[in-house]
C-alpha cells in the first residue's frame, strides 16, 4: 500500500522527482570540483609562474565552495519541502482509511497504537527523505566520484584506495555499532530513570504516609547508577570516534605524502595531483562516517513503512447504503448473538421495539447491555441473527441517516473543542441558533447565551455537560434516543431532571436506556440481562 501511495505521489509530482535527481547529481559533481581547481593551481599556475592567474583561480576556488554551500542548501530545502508535502499526502490517505476502519478494530487497539501510526511512523518516513535515502545516495555518489577521480590520476593509487576503502568502512562500522549500542542502553535506562521519578512524584503521598523514603531512595539510586555507567560508556565512544577518524585520515594523508616524497613516479602523478588527491581523500571520510547514521535511519524507516502497511491492512467497515426509513420507526433484534473474539456476550436475543416504546436494559456489569446498544446503533454487526430498523439491517445504514435518526448520551459526553453551536448541532448548519438557544433553555442552561464560545469541558460540571448533551439530543430531534448509564457520573437531582425532560420530549420516540440505579423513564419496559444466560456457552 505504501508503495502504491509513494508511486502515486511521485507520478503527480514528477517535477520534484526530477529536481531531486538533478540536485543529487549537481551536489555530487560540485563536491569534486575544488580538488580539481587545486590541481590546476599547483600544476598549471604555480609551476608555470603565472602569478597573475593565481588571484582569479583563488576566487574560483572560494566560489566553488560557495556554490557547494548554496546547492546543499537548495537540496535540503527541496527535500524538506518534498517530505512535508508527501507526508501530508500520506496522512491524508491514512485519514481516509481510518474513517473506514471498523469500530471493533478501533476499540480493540488502544489509542496509542493509532497515534504511533500517525506520529512516530510518519515522522520516521519523513527522515527517510531528509536524512535517509537521499543523503545516502548522495554520499555513495560522492564516494564513487572521488574514487573515479583518483583512478583518473593514477591507476595504482586508485587500486590502493580501493583496498583501503573497505577497511575504513569496516572500522567506522564497528565503532559506530558500539557507539549505537551504548547510546541505546543509555537511552533505555534514561527511560527507567524518568519512569521511576514520575512514579515517585505521583506516589509522594503514599511514600510519605508509609515512610517509604529510604526504600524508594535506594531503588532510585540503583537505577541512577546503572544509567550513569551506561552513559559513561556512551560518552567514551562519542569522544573516541571523531579523534580516531581524524587520526586515520591524517595517517592516510601522511602515507601518501611519504610515498610521493620518496618517489613521485610510483603513482605517476604530478604534485598538483597529489595535493588534489589528498583533498579528495580527506573529503572521502565524511560521507563514509555518514553512511552508518544513514543506514540506521533507513532501517528505522523501513520498520515504519512496514507498520504503515500494517495500518492499511485493517479491513474496511461494511459498505453503507443510503436508506429511506420514513417517519415511523421500529427496531427489532431477531435471534441475535454476538461475540468479541471467542467470548460469547449475547446469545440468541430477541426483542421487538415498537415506535414510541421505551426500553431499559438492566443487569450486572459485563452482562452485555452496552453491546446490545451498540448493535442497535449499528456500529457492530451481529455474529448471528439480525438487528433491523424498519426491516433494514442497522449496520448498513449510511452515516447521514444514522445521525438524523439516532442520538446517544453516554456517561462521558463527547465534545471536541468546537463552539457551543457546533457541538450542539454536530456541524449540521441547517439547525438554527434559535433552536439551540431554545434547547439550552429547556435543559436549564439559559445562562449560556453566546453560542460562538468554544465549549471548554473544564469550564462545566459533569451535570452541566450531561445537560449540554441532552440539549444536543433536543436540537437534533431524533427518532431513537440511546442513554448509556448517563446518570452514572452526575448528581441525582440533575439525573432526574434529565429523565423529566426526556419523558416530555420523547413521547413519540424510541428510547433505549441503560440504568443501574435511579429514576427510569415513564412506561419503560425493563429487560433484565443475566450474566449466566449470556455466558452459558
Ligand X SMILES: Nc1ncnc2c1ncn2[C@@H]1O[C@H](COP(=O)(O)OP(=O)(O)O)[C@@H](O)[C@H]1O
Return residues touching Mg ion (CB under 5 A). Answer: 370
Q: In the set 82, 360, 367, 469, which binds ligand X (CB under 6 A)?
A: 367
Using the minimum distance from each CB to ligand X, give the nearer residue, 55 or 537: 537
Using the minimum distance from each CB to Mg ion, give the nearer residue, 270 or 370: 370
3-class secondary-structure state, position 350: strand
Closest separation between CB of residue 383 and ligand X, Å?
A: 12
Q: In the set 345, 420, 467, 501, which binds ligand X (CB under 6 A)?
A: 345
Closest separation between CB of residue 488 and Mg ion, Å?
A: 9
Using the minimum distance from each CB to ligand X, give the nearer residue, 131 or 371: 371
Using the minimum distance from each CB to Mg ion, give the nearer residue, 231 or 370: 370
Beta strand ranges found along 13-90 (DSSP E): none
Which residues sit opposite 339 in a β-bridge? 344
Closest separation between CB of residue 339 and ligand X, Å?
A: 9
Q: CA 512 to CA 501: how far, in whole Å?
A: 15
Using the minimum distance from each CB to ligand X, give the nearer residue, 106 or 442: 106
The rounded Cα 237 to chain-centroid distance in angstroms is 32
Q: In the set 370, 401, 411, 419, which binds ligand X (CB under 6 A)?
A: 370
Check residue 523 for interaction with ligand X (CB under 6 A): no
Q: In the set 108, 120, 242, 246, which binds ligand X (CB under 6 A)?
A: 108
Query: Long-range contacts of range 500-506, CB-CB < 8 Å, 24 or more positions apart?
Result: 501/442, 501/443, 501/470, 501/474, 502/470, 502/473, 505/442, 505/473, 505/474, 506/358, 506/481
Site for ligand X in 371-390 (CB under 6 A): 371
Residue 367 binds: one of Mg ion, ligand X, none (C-beta under 5 to 8 A by kind): ligand X
Check residue 69 for interaction with ligand X (CB under 6 A): no
Q: In the set 25, 29, 85, 107, which binds ligand X (CB under 6 A)?
A: 107
Q: CA 418 to CA 456: how far, in whole Å?
A: 8
Q: Where are the alpha helices (DSSP H) in 132-265?
A: 133-153, 155-202, 204-209, 213-262
Using the minimum distance from each CB to Mg ion, give the nearer residue, 134 or 375: 375
For residue 207, what are the CA distances in angstroms to 193, 204, 218, 220?
Answer: 18, 5, 13, 13
Closest separation between CB of residue 116 and ligand X, Å?
A: 20
Site for ligand X in 251-280 (CB under 6 A): none
Characterize the bridge pairing of strands 384-389 and 392-393: antiparallel
The size of the interface with ligand X (CB under 6 A), counted in residues, is 12
Check residue 368 for interaction with ligand X (CB under 6 A): yes
Using the minimum distance from each CB to Mg ion, give the nearer residue, 182 or 511: 511
Check residue 369 for interaction with ligand X (CB under 6 A): yes
Characterize the bridge pairing of strands 358-362 and 525-528: parallel
Using the minimum distance from each CB to Mg ion, give the nearer residue, 362 or 370: 370
Q: Which residues contact 360 (CB under 8 A, 6 or more apart)?
A: 513, 514, 515, 520, 521, 524, 525, 526, 527
Check residue 332 for interaction with ligand X (CB under 6 A): no
Q: Which residues contact 65 (CB under 8 A, 6 or more apart)?
A: 34
Instruction: Give me the phi and psi of 364, to 5 degrees please.
Output: -65, 165
Closest separation between CB of residue 97 and ligand X, Å?
A: 20
Check residue 340 for interaction with ligand X (CB under 6 A): yes
Site for ligand X in 393-432 (CB under 6 A): none
Residue 317 DSSP symbol: P
Residue ranges in contact with ligand X by CB under 6 A: 107-108, 340, 345, 363, 365-371
Amino acid at each position: 500500500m505504501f508503495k502504491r501511495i509513494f508511486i502515486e505521489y511521485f507520478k503527480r509530482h514528477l517535477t520534484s522527482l526530477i529536481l531531486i535527481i538533478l540536485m543529487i547529481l549537481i551536489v555530487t559533481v560540485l563536491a569534486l570540483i575544488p580538488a580539481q581547481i587545486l590541481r590546476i593551481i599547483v600544476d598549471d599556475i604555480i609551476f608555470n609562474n603565472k602569478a597573475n592567474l593565481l588571484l582569479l583561480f583563488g576566487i574560483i576556488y572560494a566560489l566553488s565552495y560557495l556554490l557547494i554551500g548554496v546547492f546543499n542548501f537548495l537540496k535540503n530545502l527541496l527535500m524538506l519541502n518534498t517530505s512535508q508535502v508527501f507526508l501530508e499526502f500520506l496522512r491524508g490517505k491514512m485519514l481516509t482509511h481510518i474513517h473506514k476502519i471498523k469500530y471493533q478494530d478501533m476499540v480493540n487497539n488502544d489509542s496509542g497504537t493509532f497515534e504511533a501510526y500517525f506520529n512516530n511512523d510518519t515522522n520516521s518516513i519523513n527522515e527517510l527523505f531528509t536524512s535517509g535515502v537521499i543523503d545516502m545516495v548522495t554520499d555513495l555518489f560522492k564516494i564513487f566520484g572521488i574514487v573515479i577521480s583518483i583512478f583518473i590520476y593514477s591507476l595504482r593509487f586508485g587500486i590502493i584506495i580501493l583496498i583501503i576503502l573497505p577497511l575504513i568502512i569496516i572500522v567506522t562500522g564497528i565503532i559506530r555499532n558500539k557507539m549505537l549500542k551504548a547510546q541505546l542502553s543509555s537511552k533505555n535506562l534514561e527511560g527507567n530513570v524518568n519512569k521511576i521519578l514520575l512514579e515517585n512524584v505521583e506516589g509522594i503521598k503514599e511514600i510519605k504516609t508509609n515512610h517509604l523514603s529510604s526504600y524508594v531512595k535506594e531503588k532510585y539510586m540503583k537505577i541512577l547508577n546503572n544509567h550513569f555507567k551506561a552513559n559513561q560508556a556512551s560518552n567514551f565512544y562519542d569522544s573516541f570516534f571523531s579523534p580516531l577518524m581524524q587520526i586515520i585520515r591524517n595517517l592516510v594523508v601522511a602515507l601518501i605524502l611519504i610515498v610521493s616524497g620518496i618517489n613521485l613516479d610510483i603513482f605517476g602523478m604530478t604534485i598538483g595531483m597529489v595535493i588534489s588527491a589528498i583533498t579528495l581523500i580527506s573529503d572521502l571520510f565524511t560521507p563514509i562516517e555518514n553512511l552508518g547514521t544513514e543506514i540506521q535511519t533507513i532501517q528505522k524507516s523501513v520498520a515504519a513503512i512496514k507498520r504503515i502497511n500494517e495500518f492499511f491492512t485493517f479491513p474496511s467497515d461494511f459498505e453503507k447504503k443510503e436508506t429511506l426509513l420514513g417517519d415511523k420507526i421500529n427496531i427489532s433484534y431477531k435471534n441475535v448473538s454476538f461475540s468479541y473474539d471467542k467470548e460469547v456476550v449475547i446469545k440468541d436475543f430477541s426483542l421487538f421495539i415498537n415506535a414510541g416504546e421505551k426500553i431499559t436494559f438492566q443487569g450486572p456489569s459485563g452482562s452485555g447491555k452496552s453491546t446490545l446498544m451498540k448493535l442497535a446503533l449499528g456500529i457492530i454487526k451481529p455474529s448471528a441473527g439480525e438487528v433491523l430498523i424498519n426491516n433494514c439491517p442497522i449496520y448498513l445504514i449510511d452515516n447521514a441517516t444514522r445521525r438524523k435518526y439516532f442520538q446517544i448520551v453516554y456517561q462521558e459526553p463527547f465534545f471536541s473543542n468546537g463552539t457551543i453551536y457546533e457541538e450542539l448541532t454536530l456541524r449540521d448548519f441547517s439547525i438554527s441558533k434559535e433552536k439551540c438557544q431554545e434547547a439550552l433553555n429547556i435543559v436549564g442552561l439559559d445562562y449560556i447565551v453566546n453560542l460562538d464560545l468554544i465549549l471548554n469541558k473544564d469550564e462545566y460540571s459533569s451535570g452541566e455537560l450531561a445537560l449540554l448533551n441532552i440539549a444536543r439530543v433536543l436540537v437534533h430531534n431524533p427518532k431513537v434516543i440511546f442513554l448509556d448509564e448517563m446518570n452514572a457520573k452526575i448528581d441525582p437531582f440533575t439525573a432526574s431532571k434529565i429523565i423529566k425532560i426526556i419523558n416530555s420530549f420523547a413521547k413519540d420516540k424510541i428510547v433505549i436506556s441503560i440504568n443501574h440505579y435511579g429514576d427510569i423513564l415513564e412506561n419503560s419496559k425493563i429487560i433484565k440481562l443475566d450474566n449466566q444466560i449470556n455466558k452459558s456457552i
